[in-house]
Amino acid sequence: MIRALLVDDVPLARDKLRHLLAAHCDIHISGEASDIAQARQLLAQAPVDLVLLDIQMPGDNGLRLAEQLSAPTPLIIFTTAHAEHAVASYAVGAVDYLLKPLDASRLALALDRARQRLARDRINTPQPLCVRNAGSVTYIALHDIDYIDNAGHYACVHVGRQVHLLRDSIGRLAEQLADAGFIQIQRAVIVNRARVRTLEPRRNGDATLVLIDGTSLPLSRMYRAAFDAGMQEPART
């Protein structure tokens, strides 16, 4: 299922788009917005996979919204009556640029392009960690994890101020998460390199890593070379 947000200040335009999308059973309209401010609010409340976005609207425009979207970034299909913004639309990574009045076959082609891109993105997106506790399951996105250390037979997954216990070994997790940008910095600690802000050397060859949230973690000199190499290479996700 593809979660879609419709953004257009003209009710009749949203009505027509809704009617055309009804022919595509995998498209679920998660919400509708009549201006950019409302669109931002809806996106902050619940992420979507696709935004069908008008450009010229009162108060702000769709191009500016597309430029300011934060991760996880939805795909954009622009739907507008103005042809002059086409070049700018592709500069912000739009899937397609549809001119009004919308044509069913042209919309179908744009949706196929969105499906193909979403399929590629999902293949390349690492699976979340699954933490089971008393019958419940918590899914933790890898990019949300700061670091992982251990406590006895458990791995402690640090996500902001929360700590989730996972019955697994640091060694196995280090191997499993290496392609997602996690680097071993001690025998029992791995860190998400995207969360590292600074490295502060020590005299004995060890170092201290300071994470984005201010957390300090010791980096053993035994792992320094591997850490430096890991920070330089692209994540293989």
pLDDT digits (tens, 9 = 90+) for 188-226: 999 999 899 999 999 888 999 999 999 999 999 999 999
Q: Give residue for tokens 């609010």.
A: 41
Across 99-108, 151-160, 225-234, the highest mean pLDDT is recorded for 99-108
Domain ends where: 75, 107, 124?
Answer: 124
Q: Which residues contact 218 (CB under 8 A, 6 or more apart)?
A: 185, 186, 206, 207, 208, 209
Domain residue limits at 180: 129-232
What lies within 8 Å, CB to CB, of 46 at 6+ separation is 3, 30, 31
* pLDDT above 80 (res 166): yes
Integer Cα distance of 61 and 54 in angstroms: 8
In terms of domains, do 107 and 192 share one?
A: no
User: What is the SS3 assignment for 165?
Assistant: strand
Residue 237 lies in a domain: no
Nearest-angstrom CA–CA distance, 196 and 79: 40
pTM of the model: 0.56
Residues 140 and 117 in one domain: no
CB 98 within 8 A of CB 106: yes
Average pLDDT, the chain: 91
Percent of the chain with pLDDT over 90: 66
The pLDDT of residue 234 is above 70: no
> pLDDT tens digits for 132-142?
887 788 889 89
Can you give the pLDDT at residue 143? 86
Which of the listed residues 90, 109, 124 is the one where a domain comes to its end?
Answer: 124
Mean pLDDT of 13-26: 96
Q: Which residues of 186-215 are buried (b: 16+ CB within 10 A; e: fewer)?
A: bebbbbbbebbeeeeeeeeeebebebeeee
Return the pLDDT at 237. 43
Q: Is residue 26 part of a domain?
A: yes
Q: Are residues 59 and 151 in the same domain?
A: no
- Model confidence at 96, in pLDDT bands (50, 70, 90)? very high
> Which residue, 92, 124, 156, sits at the end of a domain?
124
Residue 124 has pLDDT above 80, yes or no: no
Same domain as 148, residue 101: no
75-80, strands of its sheet edge to edge: 27-33, 2-7, 50-53, 75-80, 96-99
